[in-house]
Amino acid sequence: MSWEQLESACTSCHECPLGDRRTNIVIGTGNRNADIMFVGEAPGADEDKTGIPFVGAAGKHLDKFLAAVGMKREDVYIANILKCRPPNNRDPLPEEQDVCIKYLREQVKLIKPKIIVCLGRISAMRLIDPEFRITKMHGRFFKRGEFYICAVYHPSALLRDPSKNEDMYTDLKKVKAKLAEL
């Protein structure tokens, strides 16, 4: 699939009920040749309004961490497991993830990142291990075919509990170091 085909498949998608409620589909943003790809869970209200992932409060918090470790949004690619906003920002349902995950798989094939960083528990449980425990397993790398994958705290979790900020900083530094080593 090309980027054009992917965008057209996403924008015409009504395979789950979220497709009928969206203002905008939120496909992804950033560098299509990125070495590092971040994957969150699903768009929120600001993302639904703009069509761009992580532009609300959580996104601004993520930007601060990227800056702190010397990464720029333009250098990385950012997407979500779901491309449409779940009502009231509830967790994505397994059946919504099941139909939407094919678009993320196509994005990974097109971008060919060296490292995928799951933002939060939902993304880690879908992409790394259904039993993933974010508090215990954040910052650990797993080799999957052509790339490494790890998970860090979701920026919204950091806003709720700033005591986790230090872990996020350490984990993102580990991601940079891992990339340098590859």
Q: Which stretch binds ligand URA (CB under 6 A): 28-36, 52-60, 136-144, 168-176?
A: 52-60
Phi and psi dihedrals of 47, rounded to 5?
A: -70, -40
Question: Min. distance of Cβ 12 from ligand URA in angstroms?
Answer: 21
3-state SS class at 175: helix
Q: Which two tokens stand for residue 179?
A: 């990339």
Q: Are 170 and 164 in contact (CB under 8 A)?
A: no
Structure tokens at 54: 């992580």
Stretch binding ligand URA (CB under 6 A), from 10-18, 29-37, 53-61, 64-72: 53-61
Q: Is 86 in the site for ligand URA (CB under 6 A)?
A: no
Residue 18 binds ligand URA, judged by CB under 6 A: no
Give DSSP secondary structure letters for 39-64.
EES---HHHHHHS-SS-SHHHHHHHH
| Candidate ranges 49-57, 98-106, 110-118, 134-142; the one touching ligand URA (CB under 6 A) | 49-57
Residue 103 binds ligand URA, judged by CB under 6 A: no
Q: For residue 43, what are its two tokens?
A: 């768009």
**Interface pick for ligand URA out of 19, 28, 30, 44 (rule CB under 6 A):** 44
Which residue from 19, 40, 86, 92 is in contact with ligand URA, where contact means CB under 6 A?
A: 40
